Chain A
Amino acid sequence: MGFPLLSLIIFLPVAGAVVVLFMRDAQTIKWTAFAVTLVDFGLCLLLLLSFDTSTHEMQFAEQRNWIPALGIKYAVAVDGISVLFVFLTALLGWICVLASWNAIAKMIKAFMVSLLTMQALMLGVFSALDLFLFYVFWEAMLVPMYAIIGIWGGERRVYAAFKFFLYTLAGSVLFLIGIIVLYFQGGRTFDILALMNADLGFVTQAWLFFAFLIAFAVKVPMVPVHTWLPDAHVEAPTAGSIILAGVLLKMGTYGFLRFSLPMLPEASVHFSTLMLVLSAVAIVYGGLLALAQDDLKKLVAYSSISHMGFVTLGIFALNSRGVTGGILQMFNHGITTGALFLFVGLMYERTHSRSIADYGGLMKIAPLCSIFLGLFTLSSMALPGLNSFVGELLILSGAFAANPLLAGISILGAVLAAAYLLSMFRRVALGAARVGERFDFWDLDRRELASILPLAVLVIWIGLYPKPFLSIIQISTDHLLTQVHEKEGAE
């Protein structure tokens, strides 16, 4: 065990939060939070660069006994499935701080503490190798997130926060039961890697699969347990929306990849068609809902449901292209939707309106803002040459191998995405410059540009040259699929 890089990454934001607690001046607090998240991001970059893409084994592993009586350990590590999300969390971390710079007016200290704590917990979720530890991180996240929505949110923030809390908690209860069952059935261990090799009977697997399904489906969110999402997004401050869309939604699909597939392979294969159906429903239904929105945030929120449907479609295609595409698309969605929420936020700061009808002609007043908004809009609708297209192509190609009918239906979601996104962009950015008559709308400032540029670079980079990212994912995916299919074949 070498230098504990991963632990440093996870706990640096906590340390930052503690330091911030003792500060008074708002500017100092903001700059400290920014510095901490930026350093954390730098460390993650280091982690990504020194990540070995030639093995599926866990890397940067650390392990210490925590509660020996129950065999609970503090064990963290990353593999090709999780490392990208550790990176994504840290990337969005400092962007969230920048996005909150002027938007958060009250209790800035408490907000930054929540944000930093949130970041630490999210990083923990993606790196935990002990099921108990994972659950602790997973549940603890609810508290700062509840605060971020409930204190700094919009008018109906308490309702939205409560709804978010209830849905997630309901899922978590089942998850907890599942964990306990796993502990006893899997040889009295919380070691995630060991549990992957546990030999569970099909019936146990099936029950666990559904317990996990509900917990994860709430997070993704899959239809019909998606209704908390639009409320949470609309009421959350910009940073909250970015975290929700960029990272929290990924935890649901990450759960499928880390637990359901490798630990419950037979059930996963058995119920894969059901999952594909649910995915296709989410894709089309989410798209239709997005089409009907006038509220920018709701539109992006519903589009997330549709896009995350593509991710689950790829994962439960249970073949190399589908799963690889699904993981890449999780990353893509984090970048693109994160950026879109960033734009909704900065537009709201200027106009205090999220209604598409209030905008129009943005291109004439704020060309830079419009062009970047256009880029992320196109990325979200999966324009060839941009990041989401690569993911969508892989997912659909995998889905056609698994279930051509459902893949065909899912294509509808792609058409709908083009429809609601392009029409949104046309109504917001093109035409007569109405927005300038009513609001003082200034173009992007340097702080905003700094947070947008890295995302824009990633959008184009992954769109044309996704290989570095795919090579991170590939070996772990292949290993995951052997885990799934080997056990299934052994039966």
Chain B
Amino acid sequence: MSIRPLLAIAIAGLASGLVLYLRDRVGPRDLVSPVASVVLFALVASMAPRVLSGGTYELVLFEVLPGVDFAFRVDALGMVFATISSLLWIFASIYTIGYMHSLGEHAQTRFYICFAASLAAAIGGAFAANLFTLVIFYEVLSLVTYPLVYHHEDNEAWDGSRKYLVYLMGASKSALLAAIALTYHLAGTLDFVPGGLLAGVEAAPVLLTVVYFCYLFGFAKAALMPLHAWLPAAMVAPTPVSALLHAVAVVKMGVFCVLRVVFDVFGTGLMDALGLAIATAYLASFTILTASIYALTRDDLKARLAYSTVSQLSYIILGAVLFSPVAMVGGIIHIAAHAFSKITLFFCAGSIYCATGKRKISEMGGIGRQLPWTMAAFFVGSLGMIGVPPAGGFVSKWYLAWGSVEGGQFVFLVVLLVSSILNAAYFLPVSYIAFFGKEAEGESRVREIPLVTVPLVATGILSLLMGIFPGYFITLAEEVVR
């Protein structure tokens, strides 16, 4: 028993409360999140050594139902998710201050409260020991991010946020609720069991297949097509939200839940026996390619990034269901690789918007000369997405490709290659236009905002470092696969 998992959730939760308490004093209020993020990261990091060596931290609070506890367990998979969420929160919280102040956004207190609460929910999900606990934090995350999505309170924001909630709540109240009720009925417990909770359960294959797809689509945060449309809709949120939450915490929560289902609820053996693995792999491949093509057609930078996220999330799912240990490792470290690169890209989009008010790529001609740090970081982030060494994306894609070859699944190797070309096709033009495009006539010169620029440079560097020193995440991923 260890109190640390609960403490981690409490830190972010307390930060949320403290912001409310300090709502009338802007200075101290804004300092709460950066301080809390550092403390949270330190706490998460303090748990790393034991988890890296195969250990866990466990905390059982009480029994909810027979066979269902309210309990936490810090294992390798949860550690991957918690590490990136808490680490990137540090940069996001600094970035947010710069972003919100430079734009003079309204309702900043509400914004900070919900932002910190989202982190608490994400960490809670990462450390949940069973489906019941996981789902509580999963739903809380949907709810506390909702005010962040409707933040602007204009028609566009209401429309986007409605779509956001309809997709996420609709999926979870239908498919997910059914899946959990059926799992409880079949297994009598909701615990995560390495090797699969449902592995030894006597049940009709059809029923198990239904349960599986209910999970797969119930966790709509994973943005698997056709349940992906909430993610582009969520781009009406202020950019810090898109960056940390809709590129890292929220979507990774979805993928994380799917991985939990694949590894700990069904288990690789059952997935294979029912033919679910290959079906999921094709579904993921479809999403990877289709979303990339969508991205190609979007001129709004954030929309392009959102479709890119939809596509990249499916890499992670693909890796998990190819069932070669190497591909699994690839999928899991892609959680981190994508996070570092994509948050950088979103930070850049926000920086451009703060400095120039521009959102469309076609209007960004020559912008790189005015915002050199931003666009350099954008280029680095793009490399990560495409998978060019030494960026982190190269390592994960390498593992994924290696895994599909090892498993004899050449179809998916082709998918990976084609999608990488597509990635290049929709990311590189942005950098090209920015650095070599023509500036529009008569525009005043703009400058980068320091509080916004420093974090994005830092995450850009991190995305490179992750490629050069991927050891931490590989060790954790291997621990999961074992």
Contact = CB atoms under 8 A, between A and B. Distances in A.
A417 interface: yes
Given A393-B181, A396-B178, A466-B64, A415 B170 contact: yes
B60 interface: no
A390 B65 CA distance: 8
Given A400-B181, A418-B169, A467 B62 contact: yes
Given A383-B139, A390-B64, A414 B153 contact: no
B150 A430 contact: yes
A418 B181 CA distance: 17
A466 B68 CA distance: 11
25 contacts: A321-B184, A378-B143, A383-B143, A385-B139, A393-B181, A393-B184, A396-B178, A396-B181, A397-B182, A398-B185, A400-B181, A401-B185, A404-B207, A408-B178, A412-B174, A415-B174, A419-B170, A431-B158, A464-B62, A464-B64, A465-B62, A465-B70, A466-B65, A467-B64, A470-B65
Contacts, number: 79
4 nearest CB pairs, A to B? A396-B181, A385-B136, A397-B185, A397-B184
A224 interface: no
A407 B139 contact: no
Interface in B377-417: none
Interface in B10-38: none
B174 A431 contact: no
B63 interface: yes
B401 to A, nearest CB: 38
Given A384-B136, A401-B185, A430-B150, A414 B173 contact: yes
Contacts of B184: 321, 393, 397
Contacts of B177: 382, 392-393, 396, 411, 414
A432 interface: yes
B135 interface: yes
A14 interface: no
> How big is chain B's contact interface, by range?
20 to 34
A53 to B, nearest CB: 14
Nearest to A381: B173
A442 B132 CA distance: 38
Q: Chain A contact residues: over half helix, strand or loop, or mixed?
A: helix
B140 interface: yes
Given A384-B139, A465-B70, A467-B63, A393 B180 contact: yes
Interface in B175-199: 177-178, 180-182, 184-185
A422 interface: yes
Contacts of B278: none
Given A378-B143, A417-B173, A422-B169, A400 B185 contact: yes
B165 interface: yes
Contacts of B140: 385
Interface string B143-172: 100000010010000100010011001100
A407 B181 contact: yes
Given A411-B174, A414-B174, A397 B139 contact: no
A394 interface: yes
Contacts of B162: 426
A455 to B, nearest CB: 20
Interface string A417-433: 11100100010001110
Contacts of B135: 384
A418 to B, nearest CB: 5
A284 to B, nearest CB: 13
Nearest to B140: A385
Contacts of A417: 173
Interface in A374-410: 378, 381-385, 390, 392-394, 396-401, 404, 407-408
Contacts of B178: 396, 407-408, 411
A465 B181 contact: no
A400 B188 CA distance: 13
Contacts of A378: 143
A408 B169 CA distance: 17
Given A411-B178, A418-B173, 7 more contacts: A378-B143, A393-B181, A407-B178, A408-B178, A415-B173, A426-B162, A431-B158
Contacts of A396: 177-178, 181
A432 B153 contact: yes
Contacts of A407: 178, 181
A466 B132 CA distance: 13
A385 B70 CA distance: 10
Interface in B111-151: 132, 135-136, 138-140, 143, 150
Nearest to B182: A400
A141 B279 CA distance: 59
Contacts of B136: 384-385
Contacts of A418: 169-170, 173
Contact of B181 (A397, A430, A431): A397
B265 to A, nearest CB: 15
